[in-house]
Amino acid sequence: MTTAALPVEMLKAIVDDVPAEDLLPVRAAAKTLNTLATPHAFRVLRAKTTLESVQKLAEALGTPDVAKHVKEIVIRDVGAKAGVDLFAPGKDTADEPEEETQEEPEEDQEELREALTSAIALFHTLPSLETVNVTFPPKFEEQDEADSRQLQSTILESLAAHPLKLKSLSLANLATGPSELYAKPEFEALLKPLTELRISTISDQGQMGWYDEEPCIDFWQMVQTRLLTLPENLTSLALHSDIEIGWAPEFRFVELNYPKLASLSLKNVVFNEEIGIEDFIVRHKDTLTRLDLQRCPVVLPDEGEERHWSEIYQRLGTELTNLKHIDIQNENGDCTLNYAMLDSGVGFQYVTMEDDGQVEEDNAAQDAFMKEIRSRTDA
């Protein structure tokens, strides 16, 4: 029996099960398969930051039969690992051995930036575009004229240059530092319609007191007052930092509220009553179904009353009645969150509780909390 003799419903079911990388050969197999496979084949377009790859992306976006099917665009820096979701629960590629990658030819950076600007300028012409995922260079460079900094600025400015009505935006390896772009109305327009926002950052950790430097402080103040206040209809938020934030640099969750938030993923956000992260989580108890906490220690004060994980777990277990999925990972990759103290000029230092009774209370409270969440998932 030929493919022409098969019912369209059966052919559609076959195409739906074919991996994306195998759809192009399927399109060549028969006219009916070509019609059914085309929307799937071009649903996601990927490019890396080479001139050839970006030019191919622009060529595809300029082809009407392709452009009308594009729902997601992924741009990855050539220095970032391929096929890795930096926001996945428990995923920390910093500790993984470097994989062998094919050496890329030297690029004319100015020509590359021009090509990126031209390609991204076509995004607003795509009728079905909903998602943009960008992975910036994984190495922090402080100087504004550095290639990685200019590449980041070019991509962000190009995304904001033309009106986009995205539902989801992911910015991985976003280099911390002030930028006039974040305060511009066009960048505000980019963020406002989002229902999913994922941000992971890289910082300058090569100097003493880096966490207290003005560019770092200014950046997190901007994230707090601008980036996270604009998309009011978020259902999913991921905020991943490569340094502990909340205490120093200062970041407060008191003013943040998302009435529809269902998924929250945090990395290196410290727990402390002044920071307000615990209250922020509980504030979304009516809608929150998934919570991911990576390397989120409780900050122990130099003096005064301490807040312990046993108290936090008991509160979360009582208040978050709709939570069904929980992922927890500490700085060692274990599923137990710890404590930290700020060492002036050095940064946060993880500490071990000397009170064995408190350790037992923390472990028992975490076990009870996890057991409760698992019971809801099983049900």
pLDDT value at position 359?
92
Domain count along the chain: 2
- Verify that 291 and 356 share a domain, yes or no: yes
Tell me whether residue 311 is in a domain: yes
Domain span including residue 13: 1-41
- Verify that 311 and 259 share a domain, yes or no: yes
pLDDT value at position 247?
83
- Verify that 1 and 125 share a domain, yes or no: no
What is the reported pTM? 0.87
- Verify that 24 and 80 share a domain, yes or no: no
- Verify that 152 and 186 share a domain, yes or no: yes
pLDDT at 341 over 70: yes
Tell me whether residue 156 is in a domain: yes
Tell me whether residue 99 is in a domain: no
Percent of the chain with pLDDT over 90: 55
pLDDT tens-digit series, residues 222-238: 999 889 999 999 999 99
For residues 162 and 247, the model is more confident at: 162
- Verify that 133 and 258 share a domain, yes or no: yes
Contact 136, 148 (CB under 8 A): yes
Q: What are the beta bridge partners of residue 129?
A: none
- Verify that 80 and 59 share a domain, yes or no: yes
pLDDT tens-digit series, residues 42-81: 888 999 999 999 999 999 999 898 889 899 999 999 999 8
Tell me whether residue 274 is in a domain: yes
- Residue among 308, 319, 281, 297 at smallest CA distance from 364: 308
- Residue among 145, 59, 76 at smallest CA distance from 110: 145
- Verify that 178 and 264 share a domain, yes or no: yes
Which pair of tokens denotes residue 149? 């900094």
Report residue 312's pLDDT band, with 50, 70 and 90 as the boundaries: very high
Tell me whether residue 372 is in a domain: yes
- Verify that 9 and 111 share a domain, yes or no: no
Edge-to-edge order in the sheet of strand 339-343: 298-299, 339-343, 347-351
For residues 89 and 228, the model is more confident at: 228
- Verify that 351 and 303 share a domain, yes or no: yes
- Verify that 86 and 14 share a domain, yes or no: no
Tell me whether residue 281 is in a domain: yes
Report residue 332's pLDDT band, with 50, 70 and 90 as the boundaries: confident
Average pLDDT over residues 228-252: 91
Contact 149, 125 (CB under 8 A): no
pLDDT at 248 over 90: no
Q: Which of 140-149, 167-176, 234-243 has the lowest mean pLDDT?
A: 140-149
List CB contacts of 241: < 8 A, sequence separation 6 or more. 200, 201, 203, 267, 268, 269
3-class SS letters over 56-102? HHHHHHCCHHHHCCCCEEEEECCCCCCCCCCCCCCCCHHHCCCCCCC
